[in-house]
Amino acid sequence: MKTVLSLFGIAPTKLGSQEAYARELSAQLARQDWRSVLCFAAFPPEPVVSELTAPNVSIEVLESPERISTRTLRSFAAILRKHRPEIVHLHYVGFLSPYPALARLYSAKQVYFTDHTSRPAGYVPGRARFWKRVATRVINRPVTGVVCVSAFGHRCMTTLHVLPADRFNLVYNGVDTTRGAATPAAALAFRRKFGIPASRAIVTQVSWIIPEKGIGDLLAAAPLVLEKNPDVQFVVVGEGNSRDEYIRLTAQMGIQDHFTWTGLVHDPLAEGVYAAADVVCQVSRWEEVFGFTIAEAMACGKPIVATRVGGIPELVEDSQTGFLVPRGDAIRIAARISTLLAEPDLRSRLGEAGRQVAARRFDVRKNVSQLLDLYGLSSES
């Protein structure tokens, strides 16, 4: 069997959309009689391994692939020798690296790179300096193509003029839309697990707990929401370096009883994160290249309040599937949340529209099929 090797420069810790992508890729490759080698920065925990296991799947580990060293390159070379992949696809590693050349050296016929990079706040795409353009073209000459996960990302990459424009391909990230049913049982179980009263509406953000994700702006918006409706619980799902700082801040603001910090949830869809939510926020400050959690929430039929940054407007259509607000504008964030909480029919209408958009544009099955077409394989019918 021929082989696709996907190198992910991340350590999988939960059953999220990236893991759903890996599972779906392997399933569609199996239908083409191809093997799938999934290489991560650390061995996945048991629930993830169970989700990814299939007869055509092998799981490998390349420690710290973002740090190029002799040891890392030797380990990657050993994986390449072991599996002899025809296609190598790089995710979450640097755009400039020796991996494409090494893959070609060990007989890979195609090498792809997916750009998952969010840019700093206020980033404006522009042409790279001459020496960077020359260096990039030399180093990435072995790269067959670059996959951009949003039109924003595609614009950022092509504007650099570091590779011929025809090497860049737009394939949106995808989520498992079949698991998006917002069942009352899952919602109730989530509330019980975290002690959230049935009387309180839930406003949720799922993200890394870092300033770039706008957590501080959500905290600033919370008192304004609570002034209008004291029966609201803000739920922040995830981990991050700033978590303790933000928890202390809610105590200083006197709103700690209206915030729940769940930590990492291993399977947000199955564990009712979105099922329990009345409104889902993603109020990032940096230029998000996509927004997996937005697409997940839309697939679950939830209305979104998000910032107009990066690729987010490609997911959320203002006043149609949710509301877009300016970056850092706590007053507008609070106003949009309050509007949605006060109008159940509006929540339902926007949520259903979002579900349809997610099924049409962000279904992982359709988008992996596009990727197989890019590889030159016949996609599933």
Band the pLDDT of 179: cuts 50, 70, 90.
confident
3-state secondary structure 76-112: HHHHHHHHCCCEEEEECCCCCCCHHHHHHHCCCCEEE
Query: Strand pairing partners for 34?
Result: 2
List, in order of start, the domains of the chain with CATH numbers: 2-174+363-375 (3.40.50.2000), 177-361 (3.40.50.2000)
**What are the backbone angles phi and psi of residue 260, rounded to the nearest 5°?**
-120, 125
Instruction: Provide the pLDDT for residue 379.
Output: 57
* pLDDT tens per residue across span 367-381: 999 999 999 997 543
Gyration radius of the chain's alpha carbons: 21
Instruction: Provide the pLDDT for residue 381.
Output: 39
109: left (phi over 0), alpha (psi -120 to 50) or beta: alpha
pTM: 0.95
Relative orientation angle of helices 364-375 and 17-30, to the nearest 10 degrees:
50
d(CA 358, CA 211): 27
From residue 208, alpha-carbon distances to 240, 293, 353 in Å are 5, 11, 27
* pLDDT tens per residue across span 207-230: 999 999 999 999 999 999 999 999
